[in-house]
Amino acid sequence: MYFYAARQPILDINKNLIGYELLFRDGVNNVFPNIDGDEATSRLVEGSQFNFGLEDLTAGKPAYINFTLETIIKGYPTMLGTEQLVIEILETVQPGKRLLAAVQELKAKGYTIALDDYQHQKVWRHFYPFIDQIKIDCLHTARETILEIKEALIEFPHITLVAEKIETYEAYQEAVALGFKLFQGFFFAKPEMVQSKALPPSEMALAELLYETSSVDMDLKRVTQVFERDVNLSYKLLRYANSAAFKRRAEIATIKQALVVLGNQELKKFLSLLFAAQVSSEKPVELIKLSLTRARFAELLAIHHGKLKDPGMAFLAGMMSLMDAILDESMESVMSKLPLSVDIKDALLRREGQLAAYLNLVIDYEQARWEDAHQLAGSMLINAEVLPEYYHDAVAWCQEQMTVLEV
């Protein structure tokens, strides 16, 4: 049995990863509101105890999990450790004496407590001494209301404001100006500024290698030559080929031999990861993780679907899908610098073609748009039941690659 869980990162003002909100439904067919909050929370807590560890999805960071009044009263939060969990009280829960008593008890035990999608009511003031975070939907909450909430919190400086649904850099800037300290949304997957960023020599070599390996029939001689003229890349290639992930019978003596040991598919993954990591030294590592997860997820879908001659193209499209954020410029500008295949450019620039379909499905699942993911999978004749398995595989694969390359 697979659990349909996705994660949304929560970042601080410097875009460092603080934790993940975990989103759960009982399969893509059974989307909210067909399953109530009590059951969704119960199944997620159950899954974390018996089917998967939270660390598999949160990389050791706290998990933000929604709780209803019923699941709080039943003591479900205490099944998880205080360091593992941020208790999110759902916006549908009304403030009252039972909830206040339960919140006081959880706070006394050391849990971090947040009010999710906060709707301002004066009665919540009784809860403020025990609340650590208040999450506000910045997309649908008026600026005047946010200022009113801030005014109400003046006497409670320990409460951190979390901005939800930050979709653009402009929205992020406004949230910072309003005093938010934590941020949730996909603003970091958008370019922060439009500028032209020249690629240094090693990055240009990587861009050339991405192009050479983006075709089905790779020119091994030409790829070898590119590696041989860059000492840094050659070192990283040999180190990667020498890792425990690859079993071999003899020591590697040449660059060409290292390339043969890896094989085309692993080489493409290695290059994509290396390029993304190298040009994002000032970016949060979470951006690289998301790129990797998308890449592997898209590749698994392509393999399952069997419509592409080379599933590696889906991997590369997934990896490149965040390159605008990595380079801090528009995707059009990024693609003009990378001589990638027309199919990949069509997918990233115009959302057209088979690769775009895989990428759209990946993003729908990633952002917990379960119904959209299910409908899109159905239109592609992909069994939606494979999605949670592939997502979990992609997350696990990402963690493994980050460890191997120490990114």
Please tell me whether residues 314 and 373 are part of one structural domain: yes
pLDDT digits (tens, 9 = 90+) for 191-210: 333 333 444 546 667 777 77
For residues 211 and 325, membership in a common domain is answered with yes
Query: How many separate domains does the chain show?
Result: 2
Q: What are phi and psi of 10, to 5 degrees?
A: -120, 125
What's the pLDDT score for residue 251? 55
pLDDT at 42: 58
* C-alpha to C-alpha distance for 297 and 274, rounded to whole angstroms: 18
**252 vs 108, residue with greater confidence:** 108
pLDDT tens-digit series, residues 205-216: 777 777 677 666
Q: State whether 21 and 124 are in the same domain.
A: yes
In a domain, 195, yes or no: no
Amino acid letter, residue 372: D
Torsion angle in degrees (nearest 10) through CA of 226, 227, 228, 233: 130
- Which structural domain, as residue segments, surrounds residue 95? 4-189
Domain with residue 160: its CATH number is 3.20.20.450
183 touches 163 (CB < 8 A): yes
Better-scored residue on pLDDT, 233 or 31 = 233
- pTM for this structure? 0.59
Residue 45 has pLDDT above 70, yes or no: no
Examine the domain organization and report whether 98 and 171 are in the same domain.
Answer: yes
Of the two residues 275 and 246, the one the predictor is more confident about is 275
The answer to whether 30 touches 11, Cβ cutoff 8 Å, is no
**Higher-confidence residue: 278 or 362?**
362
pLDDT of residue 197: 42
- CB contact set of 222 (below 8 Å; sequence gap of 6+): 212
Query: Do 230 and 335 belong together in one domain?
Result: yes
Domain end position, chosen among 189, 220, 244? 189
CATH of the domain at 268: 1.10.3210.10
pLDDT in tens, 154-200: 999 999 999 998 877 788 889 999 999 999 886 654 333 333 344 45
Mean pLDDT, rounded, of the chain: 78
54 versus 88: which is more confidently predicted? 88
Judge whether 130 lies within some domain. Answer: yes
Residue 127's alpha-carbon distances to 104, 108, 124, 349, 357, in angstroms, are 8, 13, 5, 48, 46
- Per residue in 133-142, pLDDT (tens digit) is 999 999 899 9
Same domain for 245 and 393, yes or no, is: yes
Query: Hey, is 55 helix, strand or coil?
Result: helix
Q: Is residue 183 part of a domain?
A: yes
110 and 28 in a single domain? The answer is yes
DSSP, collapsed to helix, strand or coil, labels residue 172 as helix
Instruction: Give which of 78, 76, 60 is closest to 68, Cα–Cα.
Output: 76
Residue 194 lies in a domain: no
